[in-house]
Each structure stands twice: as C-alpha cells, then as structure tokens.
C-alpha cells in the first residue's frame, strides 16, 4: 500500500548507501510468507517483518502457529518486527509498532470535545478487501463509543446515494470511501465540519491539502526508527507515535 511504501522508503533512506535492502511482498498470505522466509534463510544480516496475515475468510490475523515457529528460528539479534507487534512471539527482538486498538481509542479521545457536537459516529470498516485491516481498529472504535456513550454504527463502505443525516460523524479508512463521502456531502449541500464530520485514518499530503482531519501514525518516523535500531544494534520495543491532527473537517 501507499502507507507501507512510505515506511519502506523512509527505512531505506535512513539506512544509507552502505545497506542493500531486498523487498518481498507476500500479500498477507502466510503460505507465501513462509516460502519466502525459507528461501531467504541465512542470506541476510537482518530480517524486517511486517506481520499482517489473513485467513481463509479474508479476516485479518496477526500471526499463526506456523509463522511464529518460523520467526523463532531467526536469531533474535537479526529480527525486527515492524508495524504490528507480536508479543506472543516471546522473544527478545526489536520492534517498532502500532497499537491499533489503543491508538484509535486515544486519538478519538483527543478529539472528544469536537465529536460531542455529533449525534452518531459511523466507522467505515471495509471487510471485503484484498488486504484486510486489523480487527483492533474496529475494537478500539467500539470501546471508545461505549466508554463515552456515543451512538454508533459500522458500515462496510460508502454506498452511492447514501441517506446522509446532519450531525453524523464518519471515521473513514479507505481513500475511495473518503472521496465518495466528500462528493455526496457537497452534492447534497451539507457543510463539512458543521453538518457532517469526517475523520480519515492514515494521513496523506492530499488530505492535508483538502483540510481533512486525520488520525494517523507517522510512517516516516517508523521507518527511521527501525533503521536506527539496526544501525545502532538496539533491541528495543517502541510504540510508534499516533496523532489526532485537526483540520476542521469535524
């Protein structure tokens, strides 16, 4: 994805010209991942793994028994876990990660006073995607709504010609859903940030340009931190920064 590419570019640039980095994409498929790991055994000084998997029903999985066994065969000093933490790995390895459940909960809490102006929160959480999103995003959203007494709903996508209601606020994950919602808001003469609120998940330069409020980790910092750990031979476990960035769309 665009976001993972930002992490990769930041990581490579931060390592500098003395490092050679090979990229293997396994499409969240544990079988492809295990095959790739087997083929690369002993070939590298470091293995940087972004563990996001899916099962037969295309539901996000953090890991599996087979994946954990394979990762445990890599020497601790050569393994770095990136983006998604694996405490169940039970090894002393470096990690730079997002805590998806806590991150969305705390970020929405930062925007609590703004969200109180709305009657209902709607999370657009796509379930039918090639690369599924962590369920902890959904769990963190539901916990926030429960703890702070918000009426809420979970949608799978922004449908054409939706019946939009004033005083609803949307948390959007996918870019196309964001585009479709903004277009419908404009077509139906609602005022963004007053009648209907939008918070988008994961920041991009375009969202900054369009004035869309976001909740997002810092992908560049994640890549830089991972590179720093390798260069300095550190084995720390670091939760990457996650922020609520207000741009007046909520």
Q: Are 111 and 171 in contact (CB under 8 A)?
A: no
Three-class DSSP category at 97: strand
CA nearest neighbour of 173 among 129, 114, 118:
129
For residue 56, name the pLDDT band (cuts at 50, 70, 90): confident
Q: Residue 1 has what pLDDT? A: 82
Q: Are 208 and 246 in contact (CB under 8 A)?
A: no
What is the tens place of the pLDDT at every residue in 231-247?
999 999 999 999 999 99
What is the tens place of the pLDDT at every residue in 111-169?
999 999 999 999 999 988 888 999 999 999 999 999 999 999 999 999 998 999 999 99
Q: Are 11 and 229 in contact (CB under 8 A)?
A: no
The neighbour count for residue 245, using CB atoms within 10 Å, is 17
CA nearest neighbour of 126 among 85, 163, 92, 171:
171
Q: What CA–CA distance (Å, rounded) separates 135 from 143?
A: 12
Q: What CA–CA distance (Å, rounded) separates 114 from 108?
A: 10
Residue with tokens 């000084």: 45
The reported pTM is: 0.93
């Amino acid at each position: 994805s665009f976001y993972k590419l930002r992490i990769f570019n930041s990581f490579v640039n931060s390592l500098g010209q003395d490092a050679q980095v090979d990229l293997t994409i396994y499409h969240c498929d544990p079988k492809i991942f295990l095959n790739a790991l087997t083929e690369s055994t002993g070939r590298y000084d470091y293995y940087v793994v972004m563990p996001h998997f899916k099962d037969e029903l295309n539901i996000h999985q953090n890991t599996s028994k087979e994946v954990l066994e394979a990762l445990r065969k890599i020497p601790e000093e050569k393994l770095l876990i990136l983006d998604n933490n694996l405490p169940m790995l039970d090894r002393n390895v470096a990690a730079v990660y997002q805590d998806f459940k806590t991150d969305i909960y705390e970020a929405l809490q930062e925007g609590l006073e703004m969200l109180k102006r709305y009657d209902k929160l709607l999370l657009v959480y796509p379930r039918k995607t090639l690369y599924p999103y962590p369920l902890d995003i959904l769990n963190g959203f539901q916990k926030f709504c429960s703890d702070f007494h918000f009426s809420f709903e979970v949608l799978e996508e922004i449908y054409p010609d939706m019946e939009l209601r004033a005083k609803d606020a949307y948390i959007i994950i996918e870019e196309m859903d964001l585009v479709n919602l903004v277009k419908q808001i404009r077509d139906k003469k609602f005022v963004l940030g007053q009648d209907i609120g939008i918070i988008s998940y994961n920041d991009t330069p375009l969202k900054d340009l369009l004035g869309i409020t976001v909740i997002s980790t810092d992908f560049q910092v994640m890549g830089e931190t991972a590179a720093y750990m390798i260069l300095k031979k550190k084995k720390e476990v670091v939760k990457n920064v996650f922020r609520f960035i207000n741009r007046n769309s909520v």
